[in-house]
Structure 1
Amino acid sequence: MSELNPITKKKDFGGEIGAIVLIVFLPLVTLFLYLACNEHYLANGLTIDITEIARIFNLEVINNWKKIFINTECWIFYLIWFFGLMILDICLPGKEMYGVELRDGTKLKYTINGLQLVGVLLCLLGSRLYLFGLNLPELNFLYDNFLGMMVTSWLFSIILSFFVFFTSYIPLSGDKKNGKGTKERILGVGGNSQNPIFDWFIGRELNPRIGEWDIKLFCELRPGLLLWFLLNLSSLQRQFQNLGYITNSMILVNVLQFVYIFDGVLNEEGCLTMIDITTDGFGFMLAFGDLCWVPFCYCLQSRYLVLNELNFSNIFVVIIVLIMISGFYIFKSSNNQKNEFRQGKLPHLKSIQTDRGTKLLIEGWWGISQHVNYFGDILIALSWCLPTGFNTPLTYFYVIYFSSLLLHRQKRDEEKCKNKYGKYWIEYEKKVPYKIIPYVY
């Protein structure tokens, strides 16, 4: 057993059986959301007509499987999109930063250029809108080929997962060595189980790279997030083409999600301390989540509003905006406070000193609940769903799913902290008893 890469003893998500279930189940959920919200069928009411879903599946998937799985135009579009962003990510100048210290004592270098990338993309988009107005060919293509693009991104995530899995077995090349003086790659804490199915799913290598270009951080913040933005715009454009105007509900969804998407891209340095980057390996779970799940599931609200014309009162619009602002403020302010505390900038805040040399913050935002930032995230998610009205629970899929995801992440973090801090964590839980929602849970 390697000192640098110990064997994974505890497997998340139910081990290899759970991994197999999720490998099949997650793409099916993505497909189901499409089948329940398209030009042929739109879910309304408390129930969904499974017979109609089956009919649409036969019509859209079975009868057109070649057009979906072997669509040259979709592959060309997606490859240009992915590798075009990759080239920009590598070539655009930016601020050099280092991530957290790894198990070999080293820190990886990152080029933070989200602002430059957003500037380039918005200039390109602005020029295209000036030329074509709300009739951009690429947005029409995305809307008309939604299912084909979804399947293409799924297949691409499978290919990418195999690439990073196999390269994780290749020793570091040339004279390159890690901080312990070996050519051994650093693996994810949970991705070295020696079961190939589970390790492929969960991610074997911690930070797969091509040179100094980090595949995981790129996928986390570039192709999927920005494609989500374009898919939302394609729905807005199609609604304008259908109605001759844009509803306030569609504007709300696009604006609120735009703020969240571009805040993530512009503040990529905050990701360097997130569990996705510091702890989890990069495998199918993250690749599929970043490249397929995020863009093609999270645009559900805007797609629904193309098919269901909704305009709300000014009061309801204001309430939704206030929920978004409140959630965004809690999310950003709490995360900023945590980052500043870790940098030693807030020594006046109360904390618990541990024997590991670290401190557990128990004042400010982090004295309210253990994951108060997750509470802000849930409010943001709710604000995106409310503009779809109350005709169907389908459009509230995101807030339900995301709350469940955050709850699972909280459980994982709690277990890790119990093992890491021991008696200090027990003391911390007494000081900060609420997990996510203050005074509730």
Structure 2
Amino acid sequence: MKPTMGSKNQSVKQRSSSTTEREFGGTLGATCIPIFLPLTVLYLISVVRSPAASVLQWPPPLPPTGHLWAPVAPALLLGWITLHVFLYLLPCGKVSEGLLLKNGTRLKYPINGFHALCISVALLMLLLWTDAPLGSLFELLLPLAVCAMGLSFVLSVYLYVRSFWAPHHALAPGGNTGNPLYDFFIGRELNPRIGGFDLKYFCELRPGLIGWVVVNLGMLMKEVELRDSPSLAMILVNSFQLLYVADALWNEEAVLTTMDIVHDGFGFMLVFGDLAWVPFTYSLQAAFLVVHPQSLSPVGAATIVLLNGIGYYIFRKSNSQKNQFRRNPMHPSVSKLETIATATGKRLLVSGWWGLVRHPNYLGDLLMAFAWSLPCGFSHLLPYFYVIYFTILLIHREARDERQCRAKYGLAWDAYCRRVPYRIFPYIY
């Protein structure tokens, strides 16, 4: 049916409308966070490479400006991203549809991230076989981080500018406030694409996440250079985090139902997180062990492995149950679970993993994060930065999700909260 003149005028009015809800401290947060996050990354890398590795050290061990740049760093970074663009475009794996958009359509996504990881690992093994100096990544951490941060700003500016040519239905729910600083930070466009190439989906799981594995391997090889063999602590950190990345890519389709893809715009917040924060702060434990080697007893190592295994089991089982229920609530594995009906027609799980706490996947995530830090011992606070940061992040994310669900489901959400009173930690929070 052709649109009437009235509907056309209404569309113009909608295009000019803006959202008013602001998160992350609003304009103040959007101004400060893009300044302090890059400084935090540089500070953490500098501290972890220092002999004291103390986050309370004053003055902080700031590097000379000459250490922030190496000509090879931008070549390595751009080469790495180019490789993953090529792997993203390979016609392997299946193609999956995302959730229903506001205009009634569904976007298609290539599910081939695990293939990209396997090819990346094979290329790394080839480099090791040819005696490539992967351990030099330890010295290149700062220049690589600087290049990744520069790329994050450039990409964020591009995304903000191009969003003004996007149709209104393509804008993110909270990214069209009319405040340039906030919209740049939070992201105006929900699913920016160049042709069929989805920029947010690509950055979410490809160069930064797999790059984290590469940085970890570089730290392991640096330890081999210094001490002839990797320590058990380094092997555990590499193994645990490789499992986490491999799991994310093996279950890549599940990311299509997450808040990042479904709700958040693609702006500086996600761009910086994907390309700079993840590979250069999530690898702090491995970098710490290069300068501060730790010894583990067999019993200690077994205990840490058990803790990581429990966390991974909770994380994987709860995420799989949620994703299956969202995609097909009549599937035999979830059809008998108890639910609460909502006015939107959707149902909320109140049994299974999601009857234990409201976010059992966060509980598993935090148990794994703690297990990643334990191989670094208890002499320094720095290796536990990830656990502390991630706890704050997940509590904040849970609060954002709580507000959205309460606004969306109303009384049904209140009933769900009475049935499942604990948010992340059973009988605690």
Structure 1 length as normaliser, TM-score?
0.91
Quick check: 1:415 aligned with 2:411? Answer: no
Distance 1:310 1:237 in 2: 16
Quick check: 1:49 aligned with 2:48? Answer: no
Bigger mean CA deviation after superposition, 183-192 or 418-427 = 183-192
- CA 1:389 to 1:283, structure 2 compared with 1: closer, same or farther past 3 Å? same
How far 1:3 sits from its partner (Å)? 4.0
Measured against aligned partners, the alpha-carbon deviations of 1:346-366 in whole angstroms (never above 9, x if no partner) come to 221111011211101000111
Whether the 8 Å contact between 1:5 and 1:187 is mirrored in structure 2 is no
**For residue 201 of structure 2, what is the amino acid of its counterpart?**
L
**For residue 388 of structure 2, what is the amino acid of its counterpart?**
I
Hey, what does 1:219 align to over in structure 2? 203
Measured against aligned partners, the alpha-carbon deviations of 1:11-32 in whole angstroms (never above 9, x if no partner) come to 1111111111111111111111
**For residue 14 of structure 1, what is the amino acid of its counterpart?**
G
Hey, what does 2:139 align to over in structure 1? 144
Quick check: 1:389 aligned with 2:377? Answer: yes
Question: Pick from 207, 222, 225: which aligns with 1:241?
Answer: 225
- CA 1:430 to 1:5, structure 2 compared with 1: closer, same or farther past 3 Å? farther
Hey, what does 1:74 align to over in structure 2? 73
Superposition pairs of residues 16-415 of structure 1, within 5 angstroms: 16-38=27-49, 40-43=50-53, 48-51=56-59, 53=60, 56-57=61-62, 60-62=63-65, 64=66, 68-69=68-69, 71-132=70-131, 136-137=132-133, 139-171=134-166, 183-184=167-168, 186-342=170-326, 343-344=328-329, 345=331, 346-415=334-403
**For residue 19 of structure 2, what is the amino acid of its counterpart?**
T
Distance 2:118 2:179 in 1: 43
Measured against aligned partners, the alpha-carbon deviations of 1:261-283 in whole angstroms (never above 9, x if no partner) come to 12112221110000000000001
| Partner SS, residue 96 of structure 1 | strand
Measured against aligned partners, the alpha-carbon deviations of 1:279-301 in whole angstroms (never above 9, x if no partner) come to 00001111100100010001110
Distance 1:200 1:372 in 2: 32
User: May I ask how many residue pairs the two structures share in their alignment?
Assistant: 414
- CA 1:337 to 1:6, structure 2 compared with 1: closer, same or farther past 3 Å? farther
| Partner SS, residue 36 of structure 1 | helix
How far 1:185 sits from its partner (Å)? 5.6
Whether the 8 Å contact between 1:365 and 1:372 is mirrored in structure 2 is yes
Whether the 8 Å contact between 1:4 and 1:186 is mirrored in structure 2 is no
Structure 2 length as normaliser, TM-score?
0.93
**For residue 114 of structure 1, what is the amino acid of its counterpart?**
G
Distance 1:49 1:109 in 2: 49
Whether the 8 Å contact between 2:117 and 2:210 is mirrored in structure 1 is no
Whether the 8 Å contact between 1:369 and 1:436 is mirrored in structure 2 is yes
Measured against aligned partners, the alpha-carbon deviations of 1:98-148 in whole angstroms (never above 9, x if no partner) come to 00001111100111112321232222222222232xxx23x2342221100
**For residue 267 of structure 1, what is the amino acid of its counterpart?**
N
Whether the 8 Å contact between 1:5 and 1:186 is mirrored in structure 2 is no
Distance 1:256 1:423 in 2: 41
Whether the 8 Å contact between 2:14 and 2:168 is mirrored in structure 1 is no
Bigger mean CA deviation after superposition, 275-284 or 87-96 = 87-96
Distance 1:127 1:314 in 2: 32
Distance 1:369 1:195 in 2: 37
Measured against aligned partners, the alpha-carbon deviations of 1:207-255 in whole angstroms (never above 9, x if no partner) come to 1111111110110111111111111111100111111121110111000
Measured against aligned partners, the alpha-carbon deviations of 1:20-66 in whole angstroms (never above 9, x if no partner) come to 1111111111111112111x43325xx62212x2xx32xx234x1xx
Distance 1:94 1:405 in 2: 32
**For residue 37 of structure 1, what is the amino acid of its counterpart?**
V
How far 1:384 sits from its partner (Å)? 0.5
Whether the 8 Å contact between 1:372 and 1:438 is mirrored in structure 2 is no
How far 1:4 sits from its partner (Å)? 7.1
Hey, what does 1:179 align to over in structure 2? none
Whether the 8 Å contact between 1:323 and 1:383 is mirrored in structure 2 is yes
Q: Percent identity?
A: 42
**Alignment gaps of 5+ in structure 1:** 172-182
Distance 1:97 1:68 in 2: 41
Distance 1:255 1:76 in 2: 28
Distance 1:191 1:184 in 2: 11
- CA 1:402 to 1:74, structure 2 compared with 1: closer, same or farther past 3 Å? same
Measured on the aligned residues, the alpha-carbon RMSD in Å equals: 1.6
| Partner SS, residue 168 of structure 1 | helix
- CA 1:299 to 1:102, structure 2 compared with 1: closer, same or farther past 3 Å? same
**For residue 20 of structure 2, what is the amino acid of its counterpart?**
K
How far 1:169 sits from its partner (Å)? 1.3
Distance 2:174 2:404 in 1: 12
How far 1:5 sits from its partner (Å)? 8.3
- CA 1:396 to 1:207, structure 2 compared with 1: closer, same or farther past 3 Å? same
Distance 1:362 1:4 in 2: 39
- CA 1:390 to 1:8, structure 2 compared with 1: closer, same or farther past 3 Å? same
